[in-house]
């Protein structure tokens, strides 16, 4: 796969973004490459295209599979695994959201529940502390509840909502 200057620009920036969002650079770069390539690529080829170690590619591919952003395919008469990326940006976003929720929001919620409980038990707890812990818990609870429902809506509905923009406001107010 020949990496053209435009592709390189996109791949490098995507990698940069990744590291600002807590995903490591190689993972994000490989994702970008596969997204653009739009055809299954074997690990070796990815390694060459981006000039990163083969082992690094292997680990990164595993991470991308954990996010369900890429899938493995096979080519007849070729023993190698070929990897291709999810093409739909909506799907990409939702899958990332799903995995991050699982890894970060869920643990945060359970931590908050613990904190609120412990704060109620410990009588010397400052009421302000208790109140703020509870406020944060309710907020996150509410938000994840919303997310759980919205993510299941059909794609077309999701698109329609986004297209509506701020006008949902007036709809809701009725």
For 136, the token pair is 């944060």
Residue 35 binding partner per list its own copies, DNA, none, with a CB distance cut-off of 5 to 8 Å that depends on partner kind: its own copies
Given the rule CB under 7 A, which of 31-39, 59-67, 97-105, 122-130 is the region that contacts DNA? 59-67
Given the rule CB under 8 A, which of 30-38, 44-52, 67-75, 76-84 is the region that contacts its own copies? 30-38
Give CA–CA dist 137/154, Å, rounded: 29
Alpha-helical (H) ranges within the chain are: 5-20, 25-37, 43-50, 54-66, 89-100, 106-121, 127-150, 155-164, 168-172
Given the rule CB under 8 A, which of 41-49, 55-63, 72-80, 115-123 is the region that contacts its own copies? 115-123
Residue span 107-126 as binding mask against DNA, x where in contact by CB under 7 A, dash where not: --------------------
Buried b vs exposed e over 132-160: b needs ≥16 C-beta within 10 Å? ebeeebeeeeeeeeeeeeeeeeeeeeeee
Q: Are 40 and 73 in contact (CB under 8 A)?
A: yes
172 is a site residue for its own copies (CB under 8 A): yes
How many other CB atoms are there within 10 angstroms of residue 18's CB atom? Answer: 19
User: Which candidate, 151, 170, 161, 154, places its Cα nearest to that of 101?
Assistant: 151
Residue 66 binding partner per list its own copies, DNA, none, with a CB distance cut-off of 5 to 8 Å that depends on partner kind: none
Rule CB under 7 A: which residues touch DNA?
A: 19, 24-27, 42-44, 51-56, 58-62, 79-81
Rule CB under 8 A: which residues touch its own copies?
A: 4-7, 9-10, 13, 17, 19-22, 35-39, 87-90, 93, 103-104, 107-108, 111-112, 114-115, 118-119, 122, 124-126, 128-129, 131-133, 135-136, 138-140, 142-143, 145-146, 149-150, 152-154, 157, 160-169, 171-173
């Amino acid at each position: 796969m020949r990496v053209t200057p435009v592709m390189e620009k996109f791949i490098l920036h995507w990698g940069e973004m990744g590291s600002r969002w807590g995903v490591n650079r190689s993972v994000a770069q490989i994702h970008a490459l596969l997204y653009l390539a739009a055809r299954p690529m074997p690990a070796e080829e990815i390694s060459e295209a981006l000039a990163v170690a083969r082992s690094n590619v292997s680990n990164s591919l595993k991470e991308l599979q954990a996010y369900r952003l890429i899938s493995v395919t096979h080519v007849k008469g070729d023993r190698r695994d070929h990897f291709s990326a999810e093409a739909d940006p909506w799907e990409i976003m939702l899958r990332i959201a799903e995995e991050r929720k699982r890894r970060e929001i869920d643990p945060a919620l359970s931590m908050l529940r613990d904190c609120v409980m412990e704060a109620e038990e410990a009588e010397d707890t400052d009421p302000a502390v208790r109140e703020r812990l509870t406020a944060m818990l309710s907020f996150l609870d509410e938000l994840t509840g919303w997310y759980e429902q919205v993510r299941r809506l059909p794609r077309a509905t999701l698109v329609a909502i986004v297209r509506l923009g701020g006008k949902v406001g007036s709809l809701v107010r009725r």
